[in-house]
Chain A
Protein backbone atom coordinates (compact mmCIF):
# COMPACT_ATOMS: atom_id res chain seq x y z
CA UNK A 1 0.00 0.00 0.00
CA UNK A 2 2.68 2.51 0.95
CA UNK A 3 5.98 2.70 -0.82
CA UNK A 4 8.24 3.87 1.99
CA UNK A 5 11.28 3.97 -0.24
CA UNK A 6 9.51 6.37 -2.59
CA UNK A 7 8.53 8.55 0.37
CA UNK A 8 12.10 8.58 1.67
CA UNK A 9 13.52 9.41 -1.75
CA UNK A 10 11.25 12.43 -1.94
CA UNK A 11 11.39 13.41 1.71
CA UNK A 12 12.70 16.90 1.03
CA UNK A 13 9.87 17.81 -1.30
CA UNK A 14 7.28 16.29 1.00
CA UNK A 15 8.71 17.96 4.12
CA UNK A 16 8.73 21.30 2.38
CA UNK A 17 5.15 20.71 1.35
CA UNK A 18 4.13 19.90 4.91
CA UNK A 19 5.93 22.98 6.22
CA UNK A 20 4.11 25.09 3.66
CA UNK A 21 0.76 23.70 4.75
CA UNK A 22 1.59 24.30 8.41
CA UNK A 23 2.79 27.84 7.73
CA UNK A 24 -0.32 28.67 5.78
CA UNK A 25 -2.46 27.26 8.60
CA UNK A 26 -0.60 29.22 11.28
CA UNK A 27 -0.67 32.46 9.32
CA UNK A 28 -4.34 32.20 8.38
CA UNK A 29 -5.28 31.26 11.94
CA UNK A 30 -3.49 34.19 13.54
CA UNK A 31 -4.56 36.64 10.85
CA UNK A 32 -8.07 35.22 10.90
CA UNK A 33 -8.35 35.60 14.67
CA UNK A 34 -7.15 39.22 14.64
CA UNK A 35 -9.37 40.20 11.72
CA UNK A 36 -12.19 38.01 13.04
CA UNK A 37 -11.99 39.75 16.41
CA UNK A 38 -12.42 43.14 14.75
CA UNK A 39 -15.27 41.80 12.61
CA UNK A 40 -16.98 40.37 15.70
CA UNK A 41 -16.68 43.66 17.60
CA UNK A 42 -18.00 45.50 14.54
CA UNK A 43 -20.86 43.05 14.29
CA UNK A 44 -21.79 43.61 17.93
CA UNK A 45 -21.44 47.38 17.61
CA UNK A 46 -24.48 49.55 18.27
CA UNK A 47 -23.50 51.57 15.19
CA UNK A 48 -25.73 49.95 12.58
CA UNK A 49 -23.75 50.54 9.36
CA UNK A 50 -20.65 48.97 10.91
CA UNK A 51 -22.63 46.00 12.14
CA UNK A 52 -24.30 45.50 8.75
CA UNK A 53 -21.01 45.78 6.89
CA UNK A 54 -19.48 43.12 9.09
CA UNK A 55 -22.53 40.88 8.72
CA UNK A 56 -22.37 41.26 4.94
CA UNK A 57 -18.71 40.29 4.89
CA UNK A 58 -19.24 37.23 7.05
CA UNK A 59 -22.31 36.05 5.17
CA UNK A 60 -20.63 36.54 1.81
CA UNK A 61 -17.57 34.45 2.68
CA UNK A 62 -19.59 31.79 4.45
CA UNK A 63 -21.83 31.35 1.43
CA UNK A 64 -19.09 30.81 -1.14
CA UNK A 65 -17.00 27.64 -1.48
CA UNK A 66 -13.37 28.10 -0.48
CA UNK A 67 -12.15 26.72 -3.82
CA UNK A 68 -13.98 29.50 -5.55
CA UNK A 69 -12.48 32.17 -3.35
CA UNK A 70 -9.01 30.77 -4.00
CA UNK A 71 -9.60 30.87 -7.75
CA UNK A 72 -11.28 34.20 -7.62
CA UNK A 73 -8.42 35.91 -5.82
CA UNK A 74 -5.80 34.20 -7.91
CA UNK A 75 -7.27 35.33 -11.22
CA UNK A 76 -8.97 38.53 -10.23
CA UNK A 77 -6.24 40.36 -8.38
CA UNK A 78 -3.82 40.37 -11.35
CA UNK A 79 -6.78 41.63 -13.40
CA UNK A 80 -6.81 44.75 -11.22
CA UNK A 81 -3.11 45.21 -11.85
CA UNK A 82 -1.58 43.65 -8.73
CA UNK A 83 1.05 41.01 -9.44
CA UNK A 84 1.29 39.15 -6.17
CA UNK A 85 1.79 35.57 -7.26
CA UNK A 86 0.04 32.43 -6.04
CA UNK A 87 1.76 32.25 -2.63
CA UNK A 88 0.75 35.68 -1.36
CA UNK A 89 -2.61 35.22 -3.00
CA UNK A 90 -3.48 32.13 -0.97
CA UNK A 91 -2.12 33.56 2.28
CA UNK A 92 -4.44 36.54 1.84
CA UNK A 93 -7.34 34.41 0.67
CA UNK A 94 -7.16 32.05 3.62
CA UNK A 95 -6.85 34.89 6.13
CA UNK A 96 -9.87 36.69 4.71
CA UNK A 97 -11.87 33.49 4.47
CA UNK A 98 -11.02 32.22 7.93
CA UNK A 99 -11.71 35.64 9.45
CA UNK A 100 -15.36 35.16 8.53
CA UNK A 101 -15.53 31.87 10.44
CA UNK A 102 -13.46 33.05 13.38
CA UNK A 103 -15.58 36.18 13.72
CA UNK A 104 -18.68 34.02 14.21
CA UNK A 105 -16.88 31.91 16.82
CA UNK A 106 -15.65 35.03 18.62
CA UNK A 107 -19.05 36.68 18.45
CA UNK A 108 -20.66 33.64 20.04
CA UNK A 109 -17.90 33.63 22.66
CA UNK A 110 -18.45 37.28 23.53
CA UNK A 111 -22.20 36.79 23.69
CA UNK A 112 -21.73 33.85 26.04
CA UNK A 113 -20.41 36.22 28.71
CA UNK A 114 -23.21 37.51 30.92
CA UNK A 115 -24.25 41.15 30.63
CA UNK A 116 -23.49 41.49 34.32
CA UNK A 117 -19.79 41.32 33.53
CA UNK A 118 -20.13 44.24 31.16
CA UNK A 119 -22.17 46.20 33.70
CA UNK A 120 -19.64 45.48 36.47
CA UNK A 121 -16.73 46.69 34.36
CA UNK A 122 -18.58 49.81 33.21
CA UNK A 123 -19.75 50.57 36.74
CA UNK A 124 -16.11 50.71 37.84
CA UNK A 125 -15.29 53.23 35.16
CA UNK A 126 -13.53 50.99 32.66
CA UNK A 127 -13.76 52.14 29.06
CA UNK A 128 -15.09 49.91 26.29
CA UNK A 129 -11.60 48.85 25.09
CA UNK A 130 -10.47 48.17 28.68
CA UNK A 131 -13.63 46.18 29.37
CA UNK A 132 -13.07 44.07 26.27
CA UNK A 133 -9.38 43.54 26.94
CA UNK A 134 -9.41 42.76 30.65
CA UNK A 135 -12.88 41.39 31.33
CA UNK A 136 -14.81 40.12 28.31
CA UNK A 137 -12.23 38.78 25.84
CA UNK A 138 -10.13 36.77 28.34
CA UNK A 139 -13.27 34.91 29.40
CA UNK A 140 -14.69 34.67 25.89
CA UNK A 141 -11.43 33.36 24.42
CA UNK A 142 -11.23 30.65 27.06
CA UNK A 143 -14.78 29.59 26.31
CA UNK A 144 -14.22 29.48 22.58
CA UNK A 145 -10.72 28.03 22.45
CA UNK A 146 -11.90 24.47 21.77
CA UNK A 147 -14.09 25.57 18.85
CA UNK A 148 -11.26 27.72 17.54
CA UNK A 149 -8.79 24.86 17.60
CA UNK A 150 -11.30 22.63 15.86
CA UNK A 151 -11.64 25.31 13.21
CA UNK A 152 -7.85 25.37 12.88
CA UNK A 153 -7.77 21.63 12.29
CA UNK A 154 -10.41 22.05 9.59
CA UNK A 155 -8.37 24.90 8.16
CA UNK A 156 -5.28 22.72 8.04
CA UNK A 157 -7.19 20.16 6.01
CA UNK A 158 -8.58 22.86 3.75
CA UNK A 159 -5.12 24.13 2.88
CA UNK A 160 -4.86 21.09 0.59
CA UNK A 161 -7.13 23.02 -1.78
CA UNK A 162 -4.29 25.33 -2.81
CA UNK A 163 -3.02 22.46 -4.95
CA UNK A 164 -5.51 23.53 -7.62
CA UNK A 165 -3.54 26.68 -8.43
CA UNK A 166 -0.31 24.72 -8.62
CA UNK A 167 1.13 25.39 -5.19
CA UNK A 168 3.30 22.64 -3.71
CA UNK A 169 1.81 22.35 -0.27
CA UNK A 170 1.80 18.88 1.27
CA UNK A 171 -1.01 17.73 -1.02
CA UNK A 172 0.64 19.34 -4.04
CA UNK A 173 4.00 17.72 -3.33
CA UNK A 174 2.28 14.37 -2.84
CA UNK A 175 0.56 14.75 -6.22
CA UNK A 176 3.85 15.56 -7.92
CA UNK A 177 5.57 12.51 -6.47
CA UNK A 178 2.51 10.36 -7.24
CA UNK A 179 2.23 11.29 -10.91
CA UNK A 180 5.98 11.36 -11.59
CA UNK A 181 6.30 7.81 -10.31
CA UNK A 182 2.93 6.41 -11.29
CA UNK A 183 2.23 5.67 -7.64
CA UNK A 184 -1.22 7.16 -7.06
CA UNK A 185 -2.56 4.65 -4.55
CA UNK A 186 0.66 4.51 -2.55
CA UNK A 187 1.21 8.25 -2.30
CA UNK A 188 -2.39 9.25 -1.63
CA UNK A 189 -2.67 6.62 1.09
CA UNK A 190 0.51 7.98 2.59
CA UNK A 191 -0.90 11.52 2.43
CA UNK A 192 -4.11 10.42 4.12
CA UNK A 193 -2.18 8.83 6.97
CA UNK A 194 0.05 11.89 7.29
CA UNK A 195 -2.94 14.26 7.53
CA UNK A 196 -4.52 11.93 10.09
CA UNK A 197 -1.32 11.83 12.15
CA UNK A 198 -1.30 15.62 12.38
CA UNK A 199 -4.99 16.20 12.97
CA UNK A 200 -5.99 13.38 15.30
CA UNK A 201 -3.48 14.06 18.10
CA UNK A 202 -4.44 17.74 18.02
CA UNK A 203 -8.09 16.79 18.48
CA UNK A 204 -7.12 14.59 21.41
CA UNK A 205 -4.96 17.28 22.95
CA UNK A 206 -7.85 19.67 22.59
CA UNK A 207 -10.10 17.66 24.84
CA UNK A 208 -7.55 17.62 27.63
CA UNK A 209 -6.76 21.29 27.17
CA UNK A 210 -10.40 22.25 27.41
CA UNK A 211 -10.74 20.69 30.84
CA UNK A 212 -7.72 22.60 32.12
CA UNK A 213 -8.47 26.09 30.92
CA UNK A 214 -12.25 26.29 31.23
CA UNK A 215 -13.30 29.10 33.56
CA UNK A 216 -15.03 27.78 36.60
CA UNK A 217 -18.21 29.65 37.34
Chain B
Protein backbone atom coordinates (compact mmCIF):
# COMPACT_ATOMS: atom_id res chain seq x y z
CA UNK B 1 0.00 0.00 0.00
CA UNK B 2 1.21 3.44 -0.78
CA UNK B 3 -0.28 5.42 2.05
CA UNK B 4 -0.09 9.14 2.56
CA UNK B 5 3.07 10.02 4.49
CA UNK B 6 1.09 11.50 7.37
CA UNK B 7 -1.17 8.45 7.77
CA UNK B 8 -0.45 6.75 11.06
CA UNK B 9 -3.06 3.99 11.21
CA UNK B 10 -4.79 2.55 8.19
CA UNK B 11 -7.43 -0.19 7.94
CA UNK B 12 -7.98 -1.65 4.48
CA UNK B 13 -11.02 -3.91 4.02
CA UNK B 14 -10.59 -5.50 7.43
CA UNK B 15 -12.87 -8.38 8.37
CA UNK B 16 -12.95 -10.45 11.49
CA UNK B 17 -15.12 -13.32 12.61
CA UNK B 18 -15.46 -14.93 16.01
CA UNK B 19 -16.04 -18.56 15.21
CA UNK B 20 -17.92 -19.08 11.96
CA UNK B 21 -21.02 -17.02 12.32
CA UNK B 22 -20.18 -13.97 14.35
CA UNK B 23 -18.97 -11.37 11.88
CA UNK B 24 -17.60 -8.86 14.36
CA UNK B 25 -15.77 -6.45 12.01
CA UNK B 26 -17.28 -5.88 8.58
CA UNK B 27 -15.17 -4.46 5.82
CA UNK B 28 -13.53 -1.74 7.90
CA UNK B 29 -11.76 1.06 6.06
CA UNK B 30 -10.35 3.76 8.27
CA UNK B 31 -7.43 6.16 8.39
CA UNK B 32 -5.97 8.00 11.34
CA UNK B 33 -3.50 10.73 10.46
CA UNK B 34 -0.49 11.70 12.48
CA UNK B 35 -1.45 13.88 15.44
CA UNK B 36 -5.12 13.16 15.01
CA UNK B 37 -7.41 12.21 17.90
CA UNK B 38 -10.16 9.83 16.84
CA UNK B 39 -12.93 8.79 19.20
CA UNK B 40 -14.64 5.49 18.47
CA UNK B 41 -18.11 5.06 19.93
CA UNK B 42 -21.06 2.79 19.48
CA UNK B 43 -23.44 0.52 21.37
CA UNK B 44 -22.02 -2.33 23.39
CA UNK B 45 -21.20 -5.33 21.26
CA UNK B 46 -20.65 -3.15 18.21
CA UNK B 47 -17.01 -4.26 17.90
CA UNK B 48 -15.26 -1.10 19.13
CA UNK B 49 -12.95 -2.88 21.55
CA UNK B 50 -12.19 -5.56 18.99
CA UNK B 51 -11.44 -2.85 16.44
CA UNK B 52 -8.90 -1.09 18.62
CA UNK B 53 -7.31 -4.36 19.74
CA UNK B 54 -6.62 -5.42 16.17
CA UNK B 55 -4.22 -2.51 15.75
CA UNK B 56 -1.58 -4.13 17.95
CA UNK B 57 -2.82 -7.63 17.15
CA UNK B 58 -4.13 -8.42 20.60
CA UNK B 59 -6.95 -9.61 18.34
CA UNK B 60 -5.90 -11.17 15.03
CA UNK B 61 -7.91 -10.40 11.91
CA UNK B 62 -9.12 -12.83 9.27
CA UNK B 63 -9.01 -10.65 6.22
CA UNK B 64 -7.69 -7.29 5.02
CA UNK B 65 -4.71 -5.18 6.02
CA UNK B 66 -3.83 -2.99 8.96
CA UNK B 67 -0.92 -0.58 8.70
CA UNK B 68 0.75 1.37 11.46
CA UNK B 69 3.05 4.01 10.00
CA UNK B 70 4.70 2.03 7.19
CA UNK B 71 4.50 -1.37 8.83
CA UNK B 72 1.86 -3.90 7.91
CA UNK B 73 0.68 -5.24 11.24
CA UNK B 74 -0.84 -8.50 10.06
CA UNK B 75 2.11 -9.50 7.88
CA UNK B 76 3.62 -12.70 9.31
CA UNK B 77 7.08 -11.24 8.65
CA UNK B 78 6.41 -8.24 10.86
CA UNK B 79 8.05 -8.49 14.26
CA UNK B 80 4.93 -7.97 16.32
CA UNK B 81 6.80 -7.18 19.53
CA UNK B 82 8.73 -4.37 17.88
CA UNK B 83 5.48 -2.97 16.53
CA UNK B 84 3.73 -3.24 19.88
CA UNK B 85 6.55 -1.29 21.48
CA UNK B 86 5.57 1.60 19.18
CA UNK B 87 1.89 1.44 20.02
CA UNK B 88 0.83 2.37 23.56
CA UNK B 89 -2.32 0.68 24.85
CA UNK B 90 -4.45 1.66 27.84
CA UNK B 91 -6.98 -0.86 29.11
CA UNK B 92 -10.38 -0.45 30.70
CA UNK B 93 -9.22 -2.31 33.81
CA UNK B 94 -5.74 -0.68 33.90
CA UNK B 95 -4.00 -4.08 34.10
CA UNK B 96 -1.08 -2.78 36.14
CA UNK B 97 1.21 -5.52 37.43
CA UNK B 98 0.09 -5.93 41.07
CA UNK B 99 3.40 -7.42 42.26
CA UNK B 100 5.48 -4.45 41.08
CA UNK B 101 5.73 -0.89 42.36
CA UNK B 102 4.48 1.99 40.25
CA UNK B 103 8.02 2.73 39.15
CA UNK B 104 8.75 -0.89 38.21
CA UNK B 105 5.45 -1.11 36.36
CA UNK B 106 6.60 1.74 34.15
CA UNK B 107 10.24 0.70 33.68
CA UNK B 108 9.75 -3.04 33.01
CA UNK B 109 9.07 -2.82 29.28
CA UNK B 110 11.63 -0.05 28.49
CA UNK B 111 14.34 -2.09 30.23
CA UNK B 112 13.36 -5.49 28.82
CA UNK B 113 12.10 -4.55 25.37
CA UNK B 114 13.99 -1.37 24.50
CA UNK B 115 17.06 -2.51 26.45
CA UNK B 116 17.72 0.92 27.93
CA UNK B 117 19.56 1.24 31.24
CA UNK B 118 17.61 1.11 34.48
CA UNK B 119 18.91 4.53 35.38
CA UNK B 120 17.59 6.15 32.22
CA UNK B 121 14.33 4.20 32.42
CA UNK B 122 13.74 5.42 35.97
CA UNK B 123 14.47 9.04 35.09
CA UNK B 124 12.02 8.86 32.19
CA UNK B 125 9.45 7.15 34.41
CA UNK B 126 9.73 9.88 37.02
CA UNK B 127 9.26 12.59 34.40
CA UNK B 128 6.14 10.83 33.16
CA UNK B 129 4.81 10.35 36.69
CA UNK B 130 5.36 14.07 37.20
CA UNK B 131 3.35 14.70 34.07
CA UNK B 132 0.38 12.62 35.28
CA UNK B 133 0.70 14.12 38.77
CA UNK B 134 1.79 10.98 40.61
CA UNK B 135 5.52 11.36 41.23
CA UNK B 136 4.90 10.97 44.96
CA UNK B 137 3.43 7.50 44.38
CA UNK B 138 6.45 5.99 42.64
CA UNK B 139 7.08 3.42 45.38
CA UNK B 140 3.44 2.52 45.96
CA UNK B 141 1.86 -0.72 44.77
CA UNK B 142 -1.14 -0.57 42.44
CA UNK B 143 -3.48 -1.94 45.12
CA UNK B 144 -2.79 1.17 47.21
CA UNK B 145 -3.88 3.56 44.45
CA UNK B 146 -7.37 4.69 43.50
CA UNK B 147 -8.77 3.65 40.13
CA UNK B 148 -8.07 7.06 38.65
CA UNK B 149 -4.50 6.99 39.89
CA UNK B 150 -3.99 3.46 38.53
CA UNK B 151 -5.22 4.54 35.12
CA UNK B 152 -2.88 7.54 35.11
CA UNK B 153 0.02 5.20 35.95
CA UNK B 154 -1.13 2.93 33.12
CA UNK B 155 -1.00 5.90 30.73
CA UNK B 156 2.51 6.74 31.98
CA UNK B 157 3.48 3.09 31.46
CA UNK B 158 2.33 3.27 27.85
CA UNK B 159 4.11 6.58 27.26
CA UNK B 160 7.37 5.24 28.69
CA UNK B 161 7.91 3.27 25.49
CA UNK B 162 7.83 6.56 23.60
CA UNK B 163 5.14 5.27 21.26
CA UNK B 164 4.00 6.84 18.01
CA UNK B 165 0.38 6.09 18.75
CA UNK B 166 -1.67 5.72 21.93
CA UNK B 167 -4.76 3.52 21.95
CA UNK B 168 -7.36 3.74 24.72
CA UNK B 169 -9.94 1.01 25.24
CA UNK B 170 -12.72 2.52 27.38
CA UNK B 171 -10.18 4.09 29.76
CA UNK B 172 -12.78 5.59 32.11
CA UNK B 173 -15.50 2.93 32.06
CA UNK B 174 -14.27 1.15 35.18
CA UNK B 175 -13.82 4.34 37.19
CA UNK B 176 -15.96 5.95 39.84
CA UNK B 177 -17.50 9.13 38.40
CA UNK B 178 -15.40 11.49 40.50
CA UNK B 179 -12.19 10.01 39.06
CA UNK B 180 -13.08 10.24 35.40
CA UNK B 181 -12.07 13.89 35.17
CA UNK B 182 -8.47 13.38 36.28
CA UNK B 183 -7.92 10.70 33.63
CA UNK B 184 -9.58 12.67 30.86
CA UNK B 185 -7.46 15.69 31.80
CA UNK B 186 -4.28 13.66 31.31
CA UNK B 187 -5.59 12.40 27.97
CA UNK B 188 -6.51 15.89 26.86
CA UNK B 189 -3.07 17.16 27.74
CA UNK B 190 -1.59 14.28 25.76
CA UNK B 191 -3.75 15.11 22.76
CA UNK B 192 -2.63 18.72 22.92
CA UNK B 193 0.99 17.60 22.90
CA UNK B 194 0.36 16.22 19.41
CA UNK B 195 0.08 12.50 20.15
CA UNK B 196 -1.84 10.39 17.65
CA UNK B 197 -4.68 8.84 19.64
CA UNK B 198 -7.53 6.45 19.07
CA UNK B 199 -9.97 6.33 21.95
CA UNK B 200 -12.90 4.00 22.49
CA UNK B 201 -15.11 5.85 24.93
CA UNK B 202 -18.60 6.86 25.92
CA UNK B 203 -17.35 10.20 27.24
CA UNK B 204 -19.08 12.41 24.71
CA UNK B 205 -17.77 15.53 26.43
CA UNK B 206 -14.24 14.37 25.67
CA UNK B 207 -15.21 13.54 22.09
CA UNK B 208 -16.75 16.98 21.58
CA UNK B 209 -13.90 18.86 23.15
CA UNK B 210 -10.78 16.93 22.19
CA UNK B 211 -11.49 14.69 19.21
CA UNK B 212 -10.76 15.66 15.63
CA UNK B 213 -13.13 12.96 14.39
CA UNK B 214 -15.76 10.67 15.77
CA UNK B 215 -16.21 7.19 14.33
CA UNK B 216 -19.53 5.54 15.07
CA UNK B 217 -19.55 1.78 14.94
CA UNK B 218 -22.64 -0.43 14.95
CA UNK B 219 -22.83 -4.19 14.43
CA UNK B 220 -19.27 -4.30 13.19
CA UNK B 221 -19.68 -1.57 10.57
CA UNK B 222 -18.45 1.99 10.48
CA UNK B 223 -21.72 3.86 10.18
CA UNK B 224 -20.43 7.40 10.58
CA UNK B 225 -17.04 9.05 10.41
CA UNK B 226 -17.39 12.75 10.97
CA UNK B 227 -16.10 15.84 12.76
CA UNK B 228 -17.50 15.98 16.32
CA UNK B 229 -19.67 19.06 15.79
CA UNK B 230 -21.19 17.42 12.73
CA UNK B 231 -21.67 14.07 14.47
CA UNK B 232 -23.35 15.56 17.51
CA UNK B 233 -25.53 18.16 15.84
CA UNK B 234 -26.36 16.42 12.62
CA UNK B 235 -25.83 12.65 12.61
CA UNK B 236 -26.71 11.19 9.25
CA UNK B 237 -27.89 7.75 10.26
CA UNK B 238 -30.91 6.80 12.37
CA UNK B 239 -28.72 4.37 14.32
CA UNK B 240 -26.37 7.16 15.39
CA UNK B 241 -29.29 9.43 16.31
CA UNK B 242 -30.76 6.70 18.47
CA UNK B 243 -27.38 6.01 20.11
CA UNK B 244 -26.89 9.69 20.91
CA UNK B 245 -30.37 9.96 22.40
CA UNK B 246 -29.67 6.98 24.63
CA UNK B 247 -26.30 8.14 25.78
CA UNK B 248 -26.93 11.87 26.17
CA UNK B 249 -30.40 11.74 27.71
CA UNK B 250 -31.03 8.22 28.95
CA UNK B 251 -34.17 9.24 30.84
CA UNK B 252 -35.86 11.06 27.95
CA UNK B 253 -36.28 8.74 25.04
Contacts and interface: CB of A to CB of B under 8 A. Distances in A.
B143 A217 contact: yes
Interface stretch (A91-99, A118-126, A154-162): A118-126
Given A119-B91, A217-B143, A125 B84 contact: yes
A123 B58 contact: yes
Contact of A134 (B87, B112, B161): B112
Interface residues of B, number: 27
Chain B interface, >50% SS class = mixed
Interface stretch (A63-71, A135-143, A170-178, A196-204): A135-143
B189 interface: no
B109 A124 contact: yes
A8 B161 CA distance: 66
B108 A125 contact: no
Contacts of B93: 116
B112 A216 contact: no
Given A130-B112, A134-B108, A217-B143, A125 B95 contact: no
A59 interface: no
A44 B112 CA distance: 24
Contacts of B113: 124-126, 130
A215 B82 contact: no
Contacts of A117: 95, 97
B98 A216 contact: yes
A126 B99 contact: no
Instruction: List 5 A-B pairs, minimum CB-CB distance, nearest first.
Output: A125-B85, A120-B95, A124-B109, A123-B89, A216-B143
19 contacts: A116-B91, A120-B89, A120-B91, A120-B95, A123-B84, A123-B89, A124-B84, A124-B108, A124-B157, A125-B109, A125-B113, A126-B112, A126-B113, A139-B97, A139-B98, A142-B99, A215-B99, A217-B98, A217-B143
